[in-house]
Structure 1
Amino acid sequence: MEATIPLLKVDSVGIRFGGLKAVSDVNVELFPGELVGLIGPNGAGKTTFFNLLTGVYVPTEGTIALNGENLKKQPPYKITRKGISRTFQNIRLFSELSVIDNVKVAYHSLAKHRIASSVFRLPGHFSGEKEMDEKAIEFLKIFNLDQYKDEKAKNLPYGQQRRLEIARALAANPKLLLLDEPAAGMNPHETKELMNLIAFIRKEFNLTVLLIEHDMSLVMGVCERIYVLDHGQLIAHGKPEEIRNDPKVIEAYLGEEVS
C-alpha cells in the first residue's frame, strides 16, 4: 500500500457503560478506497464500535478523526454530512414509505432547494424534487430495485430490503460506508450476489468500506485487511490469510487454546 493519509484514524478509543468496558483501547486506520473487515464473536463490541464512529455513542477515551478532523462529541447527523454513512444489523427502513422515498430521505440532506421553496411551492422545489427522483432511481437501478420503486419497503423480500438499506446509505454520498452484517439472513446465493455488489459499489463510488460480517466466506472473499475484536479489544489485524491462521482468532471463535 502506498503511504497516504488515513481517511479514518481511530486512536485508543474506548467506552464504558457504568463499570463495564464495552470497547477498550482500539486503534484502527482506514485508507481511501480500502475494503476492510471487522470480525469477532458475538458480543465482541463490533456494533458498539460502529456506534462510536457514527456519534450514537460518545467515546469516554481516545479520538476518532475523519480526514484529520476530530469527530468526538459531534452528533450523528453532522457525522453523516461529513461523510460517514451506515447500515444496521437489524434493518431500519421506513417500512410504510415507498422504496424510492426511503432513498430520497437520505438524499434529502443534500438537496439544493431550501425549505421556503418547498413551503411556497416555488420553482426551486419542483426542480429539486425532480433531481432527487432521478438520483434515487439511479441508486435503485444499481441494486435492481427500480421496478419496485412505488412498493412499500415492508413488502420487499428480506434480501431486497437489505439491498435497499445499502442504497439508502449510498444516497447520503459518503466517503466511508459502514456495513453492519449486510448478509445476515441471506441464503448462499444472495450472499454471493451481495459480495459482488459490495466490491462493485466500492469501486464505482470510490468508497472506503468497513464491513462487519459473520459470514467468513464473504469477509475473506472481499476484504483486503481484517481487524478482529474480542471482548471489546483488538486481538489481531492483518490480511485475510494471516487472520485465518491466527491462533488468537481461532481461540476467540472456538473458545479453546490452540497449541
Structure 2
Amino acid sequence: MPLLELDKVTCEFGGLRAVSEVSLHLETGELVGLIGPNGAGKTTVFNLLTGVYAPSEGRILFDGASLVGWAPWRINRAGIARTFQNIRLFSDMTVLDNVKIAYHNHVRHGVMSSILRLPTYFRGEQEIEEKALAFLSLFHLEEKKDELARNLPYGEQRRLEIARALATEPRLLLLDEPAAGMNPQETRELMDLIAFIRERFSLTILLIEHDMSLVMGICERIYVLDHGMVIAQGSPKEIRSNPKVIEAYLGEVTS
C-alpha cells in the first residue's frame, strides 16, 4: 500500500479546473518531485493534500485512510507537514518560539494544567524547549534562538521553516519551492539538507521545485503537471528526454 495516493483528483473553482484527474502515489521513504510550468496546478495539489481545498472529485489516501473532508490541523496531526513557496514564519517571534509552537501539536498537559500552572505544565514546557533547542542545533540555528525570525538571512529563514515543519513529527514532508530565491551555493546546501533530513527522520518527501538541477539531482521519480493534468512521470533521465515535458516548458519539441 502506498503511503500517499491521489486517485483521479479534480479541483474546480467556479467551473475552472485547477487540477484535472490527477493520479499519483508515493511509497514510504521515496523522494519524489512534482514539476511543471507556472500555473500548472502544483501548489493546488499541496493545498488539496493539506486540507486547504477539498477535491471536487477523486480520492486522497494517506496510509490507506481518506483525507477528504479533514481539517488541516487533523491532517498535520496524522503525519503530513508542509513548507510554503513564500516563507510563512511567525516573523515577530523568536527563532526558538517558532519551533516550540510546532511541538504544541503533541503536548500532553491539558488546558487546566496550563491555567493553574501545575507541575505537569512546567515539565511539559521544559520538554518542548529541550526538543526545540535540539532541532535548532541540527539546523545550525541554536546561536540564533533568541533572534526574531524576520531578522534571519533568507537561507536561514528557509531552514527554520523546514525545522518547524519537522517539529510536528511528520511522516510525509511537502516542500513547496524550497530553493526559491536562493543562490547556487545555498541551493547546493539545501540539497544536502534535504538528503540529511530524509535519512535522519525516515521521511517520505514530495517536492515542488523549478530549479531543475535540484530536482534532477535528488529526486528518484518525478511527476510533471501541465494545465492541471499529469503529462509524464518517471525517472529524472526519462523526464529529461520526454517530448511532452520539453513541449510544456519550451513550447515546442526539439529534435
Which TM-score tier does this pair reach, normalised by the shorter chain?
over 0.9
Instruction: Give 3-state SS (helix, strand or coil) of 1:62's partner.
Output: strand
Unmatched tracts of structure 2, length 5 or more: none
**Deviation string for 1:122-178 (max 9, x for gaps)?**
001111011101111111111111110110000000110011000000000001000
1:152 corresponds to 2:148 = yes
* AA at the equivalent of 1:177: L
1:37 corresponds to 2:37 = no
Q: 2: distance between equivalents of 1:256 and 1:12?
A: 28
* AA at the equivalent of 1:151: E
1:77 corresponds to 2:39 = no
Aligned to 1:202: 198
The match for 1:133 among 114, 129, 134 is 129
The match for 2:60 among 64, 72, 75 is 64
Instruction: Give 3-state SS (helix, strand or coil) of 1:186's partner.
Output: coil
- TM-score under structure 2 length normalisation: 0.99
Unmatched tracts of structure 1, length 5 or more: none
Q: 2: distance between equivalents of 1:192 and 1:231?
A: 30
Aligned to 1:98: 94
Instruction: Give 3-state SS (helix, strand or coil) of 1:221's partner.
Output: helix
> What is the RMSD of the two structures over their aligned residues, measured on CA atoms?
0.7
How far apart are residue 113 of structure 1 and its match? 1.3
Q: 2: distance between equivalents of 1:39 and 1:206?
A: 23
Q: 2: distance between equivalents of 1:142 and 1:220?
A: 26
Q: 2: distance between equivalents of 1:107 and 1:236?
A: 38
How far apart are residue 258 of structure 1 and its match? 3.5
1:23 corresponds to 2:19 = yes
Aligned to 1:109: 105
Equivalent pairs counted in the alignment come to 255
1:8 corresponds to 2:4 = yes
Q: 2: distance between equivalents of 1:137 and 1:35?
A: 27
How far apart are residue 257 of structure 1 and its match? 3.1
* AA at the equivalent of 1:204: R
- TM-score under structure 1 length normalisation: 0.97
Q: 2: distance between equivalents of 1:112 and 1:222?
A: 37
Structure 1's consecutive aligned runs of 4 or more residues displaced over 2 angstroms after TM superposition are: none
1:212-251 superposed matches below 5 A = 212-251=208-247
**Deviation string for 1:9-55 (max 9, x for gaps)?**
11000100111100000001101011000000000000001000000
